[in-house]
Amino acid sequence: MAAAQGAFSLREVMAAFQSCVTEQREVLLGPYLRGWRGLVRFLNGLGAIFSFISKDAVTKIQIMESYCGGEKKEEYRTMQSMVRYELNGGLVDLEQRSAHPNSGCRTVLRLHRALHWLQLFLEGLRTAQQDASTSTICTDSYNASLAAYHPWIVRKAATLAFCTLPSRDAFLEVMNVGGPEEAVEMLGDALPHIRDVYGITEELYAQHRLLDLP
């Protein structure tokens, strides 16, 4: 599996999330989406069974990339400017999906919830025993985060896919950041930044009552 990853290292993906937060504590959408692109690339290397997950993630990343590269790109520089622009312009469906089914706010919310899963998963991976099961860490993180937003059939498919994950050591190896110790150290450096991005976004969405967007 390592060969399929080529020179691709998860270190670069984590670096993208590290460069998201500005001095004004705003979250830059450019590096945020680059981080997600990298994660999806990594996910694709884990096998075709994960493709239903990566397809959904790619659809959402593409929606956001088209806003970020479109004629209103200045408004989509940061999470904060996006929320301001879309709310002031009445561009967000607040009760049910209708005129603006793919607003930036609702699309980012889905990625934001998935970032919570990632945070829990990486924390679990970092702190688990050497012989721990990646699949259990992944299932526990999923049940404590994203699962609450998914219907039964998606939960079932996701849980089945998790069962195919390699052992913790093999997984750390596929991350391509060196040996397991190095990978664990890299996660220790990267996690505070992911927590920061997650925390700022969560606060922004809570302030504007956007955490339940349809």
Assess 117 for contact with ligand 1PX (CB under 6 A). Answer: yes
- Residue 37: which of 68, 16, 7, 66 has the closest Cα? 16
Nearer to ligand 1PX, 21 or 158 (CB): 158
Binding residues for ligand 1PX restricted to 66-85, rule: CB under 6 A: none
Assess 175 for contact with ligand 1PX (CB under 6 A). Answer: yes
Residue from 5, 9, 10, 83 in contact with ligand 1PX (CB under 6 A): 10
Q: What is the DSSP string of 171-188?
A: HHHHTTSSSHHHHHHHHH
Structure tokens at 153: 């059939």
Secondary element (H or E) of residue 155: helix 152-162
Nearer to ligand 1PX, 88 or 128 (CB): 128
Residue from 68, 158, 184, 200 in contact with ligand 1PX (CB under 6 A): 158
Assess 137 for contact with ligand 1PX (CB under 6 A). Answer: no
Distances (CA, A) of 28 to 17, 25, 96, 133, 164: 9, 9, 27, 34, 34
State the minimum distance, in angstroms, from the CB of residue 109 to ligand 1PX.
8
Distance CA 167, CA 149 (A): 27
Structure tokens at 45: 């290397």
- Contact window for ligand 1PX (CB under 6 A) among 22-30, 35-43, 61-69, 88-96: 35-43
With beta carbons less than 8 A apart as the criterion, state whether 46 and 176 touch.
no
> Quick one: CA dihedral 39, 44, 49, 53, positive or negative?
positive
Nearer to ligand 1PX, 33 or 158 (CB): 158
Nearer to ligand 1PX, 110 or 195 (CB): 110
Assess 63 for contact with ligand 1PX (CB under 6 A). Answer: no
Residue whose token pair is 């505070």? 192
Summarize as ranges the residues that interact with ligand 1PX (CB under 6 A): 10, 39, 42-43, 52-53, 56-57, 110, 113-114, 117, 138, 142, 146, 149-150, 154, 158, 165, 175
